[in-house]
Structure 1
Amino acid sequence: MDGRDRPRRPAILDPAEAELIWGDSDPALASEAAHATANAVVFGPSHLAGDEPLAERVGRIIDAEGLDEIAGLWSRSPASTLPGALWRLYLLRAWLERDPETIATRFRGGTEHTTPVELREDDVENPRDAVVAPAPTVLGERLSQLFSGTDETELAGLLEEAAAFLRVLAAGTGSDPGWRTHDEEAAAPVTGRTGALTATAAELDDAAARARAGRLD
């Protein structure tokens, strides 16, 4: 994703396969592609075992394109879906890779103003386990591992940790709350909005709850 309007269409894909992925003229087709690739990237193409031909096509496309190109498909998906949640984790990983010193400084500042544990208070009478905000390098490693295969339980835990991490960062940003993850317009709805860090944290917590209930798809 180097500022191009859309990813390239590799020569090894036949027209039907390319249309499955880059069907911008058909929102339904684009949504299908986003969900299919999100499931295959995280859970493996075998997760699409109910549709073996689709699993094979998506597997070949992922091998040909790589994560950076495929992630662009997820940018228009709602935060409450698997591709929408992965898009937010992808942007966070990109920020960790591109600006580690800034993030480390903000994280240290955030831990001075907050406890390292984010209590989840959506159920006051029966609070769920506390979630520890991992250190930047630890979270970066876990995000990289995520895209090499996981399951719903592990994904939910990572979403919760990422949410806690963003809240700590928000507490350490001072007068500069910016999240300059990506220059592309596609990232702006997540990273450029007001209160981006805390808003994204809330979205990731919601996605985690859906994943634990088997409803993140």
Structure 2
Amino acid sequence: MRDFHRPGLPGASHFEAQPNREDPAETAAAGHRIATLLVRGPHGDDDQFLVDRVLHLADSEGLSTIAELWSHAPADSLAGTLWRLYALRTWVHRNPETAAVEFAAGKSFAPVSEMLAGVVDPPGPAEVIVLVDTVVRGIVSPDFDVTLDRAAAFAHIVGVGRAQLDQGDPASAVRLVDTATQLRRAAEIERTASLH
């Protein structure tokens, strides 16, 4: 026991010296504020200044920097909804051919969703990209609920198509259908003016 030494505990200065220690609550609050400003619009000069800064950051660094603030937000929040829209758009831009094939495979199983999604027939990669970009641009419209409904319809059709093609990853099809359900629920919440 003579060789036993009680370990020293780090003091406050140790934790303050740690690099890149962001407060998760502050990060979530910033993401929520940016999401609200982007969807609801600025209400004053300070808000407009922040929107301008965010748009400049999106132009210079890419939207992923801003979207990362939304990545841990609940699905039934404005920030969480924007994260899902961003993730869907990013996937389509990276995999337009796959998105078009999966949409084509799923559309006969969800004809109502096909009409709501608004994709031309037959959908090619370019048409799917145009649809997703149109949906995402709709976040600044007064009909944000319709934007969410369209995104949900698209995600649902692609998820069903992915399951029909049975490409060895049924969990990814389920996740996509879950995303569609979350977006549809967000649209319902938006219609009650409760999506914050």
TM-score range relative to shorter protein: 0.7 to 0.9
Q: Name the structure 1 match of 2:186.
A: 207
Among 25, 28, 32, the alignment partner of 1:31 is 28
Task: Give me the whole-angstrom Cα distance separating, in 1, the residues matched to 2:134 and 2:26.
Answer: 31
Does structure 1 residue 82 correspond to structure 2 residue 74?
no
Percent identity, please: 33
Q: Deviations over 1:22-55 (max 9, x none)?
A: x9632321121011111222333x14x4xx53x1
* Largest Rg, 1 or 2: 2
Alignment of 1:65-214 (within 5 A): 65-66=57-58, 67-112=63-108, 114-118=109-113, 132-135=116-119, 136-146=128-138, 149-151=140-142, 154-173=143-162, 174-176=165-167, 195-214=174-193
Question: Are the structure 2 counterparts of residues 177 and 159 from structure 1 closer, same or farther at C-alpha, using a change threshold of 3 Å?
Answer: farther
> Alpha-carbon deviation of 1:56?
4.5
Equivalent residues of 2:117, 2:151 under 8 A apart: yes
Alignment check: 8 A CA contact 1:110 1:169 kept? yes
User: Which has the larger helix fraction?
Assistant: 2
Deviation at 1:138, TM superposition (A): 4.5
In structure 2, what is the Cα distance between the partners aligned to 1:30 and 1:143? 26
**Structure 2: 5+ residue stretches without partners:** 1-19, 120-127
SS of corresponding position for 1:162: helix
Secondary structure, aligned partner of 2:85: helix
Partner Cα distance (1:178, 1:70) in 2: 29
1:182 matched to which residue of 2?
A: none
When residues 163 and 56 of structure 1 are mapped into structure 2, their CA distance, relative to the original with a 3 A threshold, is closer
* 1:101 to partner: Cα distance: 0.8
SS at match of 1:214: coil
RMSD over aligned Cα atoms: 2.6
Within a 5 Å distance, the mapping from 1:15-26 to structure 2 comes to 25-26=22-23
CA displacement 1:147-183 (0-9 Å, x = unmatched) = 5x222xx11111111111111112211223769xxxx
Where do 4+ consecutive residues of structure 1 move more than 3 Å? none
Q: Does the 8 Å contact 2:160/2:173 carry over to 1?
A: no
After superposition, the Cα gap between the structure-2 partners of 1:177 and 1:34, relative to the gap in structure 1 and judged at 3 Å, is farther
Q: 2:9 is matched with which residue?
A: none
Aligned to 2:124: none
When the two structures are superposed, what TM-score results if normalisation uses the length of structure 2?
0.72
Is the CA contact 2:148–2:183 (under 8 Å) kept in the aligned structure 1? Answer: yes
